[in-house]
Structure 1
């Protein structure tokens, strides 16, 4: 059997029980069959930087490896089980870097298993998958369905269902609530603000997370899953508090600068007055 067909039984289309090679041995049709994803979806993931390109052997021919299969299954799992939008998945996987290695994914799976066994850890990696309609969420928080749809279209929320029957996780409604509070506080559409503006926060946090991820893999991945789970459980809430406090300090620095400018202007005016 040729390498490109090593994992697929062509006689009945079933996935073979043989262990596939980790070399680039799959065609696009193999990826579709092994993952249950459409060809267009896989191409979209490649274009979005979620999946590395295959090894091209011709203008319209490329081969893919077992890593591609594992990564596609992971993306599918994150979308269907965790209801993560592609923007969040891209941040987790590290964009065009190709995501986690199989070893890293196995270790993270073990860490997650440990965290699920602890109340505080479960809050970090668990969560309800209950779905609720866009209309219900909008009414509950006093915003329009247009607002919720804009958060979805911006990739800030993940939704299931068609355009007129979209549902999101009830657990993710905090973002809708945040927009409602910002709007009532004055950052409303009437002043030129929109839910899509929250993308700048997501982008900033995404850049921060990418750096944290890099440091994490560099400095603590040599530890065992039990030790890493305890570390994450202790450290993540502290880091979240640091981010919030640093944001407030940036605002204080801005107003401190304004005060310094005013003092400087007063001093300059006084100096001119003393010379006249």
Structure 2
């Protein structure tokens, strides 16, 4: 959206929005060309959140900036500060909740229509019908595109790989996210102001995702090495046949 659209979306004039940008309270717009600025839903959510913090919490801009930078003394430490937390997090990590046509994903995934329906069945995404066309959120569109990347890498239906295999990942990620949020809110509610909490949540979203990914990679590598060692040990035996590498590794006594 352009600046005039952002003004209409938020009810805040462009001069005020530019002040927010100068204070570093919201992400910079994308600039596809000189003197051209494009704003997304994350900018609208940031403007609305900042405005509410000004009006409801009576916080000046410099205090909001300090809070977003992690200054725990900059905002009131009470639970009523949490309602705008999701907007601040979304704006800081660039999440856009607006819908896009499913057809827009076809460039990334030629089988997007079929894959989207399969992914919806396992709870990975949500499709919304507008008129005669299906739409989905931008994150959901990325998920459909990712499965297209998997197929392009060789994970095809002919080899037994269907979008439904992601059900394991959906369930694990959903359960993990619920558990993380429960711990986060229980430990911080009433203690950490909204701005610092948003900062901490942003760090958790990125750092713990890397932590989880590295543990997963390490586990896969250890499992593969163990299975390979089992196969080598079995093939060294006189008259041994090649073992199925998918078999469970046997325990070796020391």
> TM-score when scaled to structure 2?
0.54
Change (3 A) 1:234 1:144: closer
Query: For 1:217, what is the secondary structure of its paired residue?
Result: helix
Cα separation, 2, equivalents of 1:176 and 1:252: 27
Cα separation, 2, equivalents of 1:148 and 1:122: 24
User: How much has 1:172 moved relative to structure 2?
Assistant: 2.6
Confirm or deny that 1:223 pairs with 2:197.
no
Q: What does residue 126 of structure 2 align with? A: 158
Runs of 4+, deviation exceeding 4 Å: 262-269
* Match among 173, 195, 207 for residue 238 of structure 1: 207
Is the contact made by 1:138 and 1:176 (CA closer than 8 Å) also made in structure 2?
no
Cα separation, 1, equivalents of 2:108 and 2:87: 34
Q: What does residue 220 of structure 2 align with? A: 251
User: How much has 1:153 moved relative to structure 2?
Assistant: 3.1
Cα separation, 2, equivalents of 1:233 and 1:144: 30
Change (3 A) 1:220 1:142: same
| Correspondence list, 1:199-210, <5 A | 199-210=167-178
Q: What does residue 185 of structure 1 align with? A: 153
Q: What does residue 111 of structure 1 align with? A: 85
Query: For 1:141, what is the secondary structure of its paired residue?
Result: coil
User: How much has 1:231 moved relative to structure 2?
Assistant: 1.2
| Correspondence list, 1:135-154, <5 A | 135-154=103-122
Change (3 A) 1:144 1:122: closer
Unaligned runs of 5+ in 2: 1-44, 46-77, 239-254
Is the contact made by 2:115 and 2:163 (CA closer than 8 Å) also made in structure 1?
yes
Query: For 1:155, what is the secondary structure of its paired residue?
Result: coil
Query: For 1:240, what is the secondary structure of its paired residue?
Result: helix
Unaligned runs of 5+ in 1: 1-80, 82-102, 270-276
Bigger shift: 220-229 or 248-257?
Answer: 220-229
Change (3 A) 1:115 1:192: closer
Is the contact made by 2:123 and 2:170 (CA closer than 8 Å) also made in structure 1?
no
User: How much has 1:239 moved relative to structure 2?
Assistant: 0.6
Q: How many residues align?
A: 161
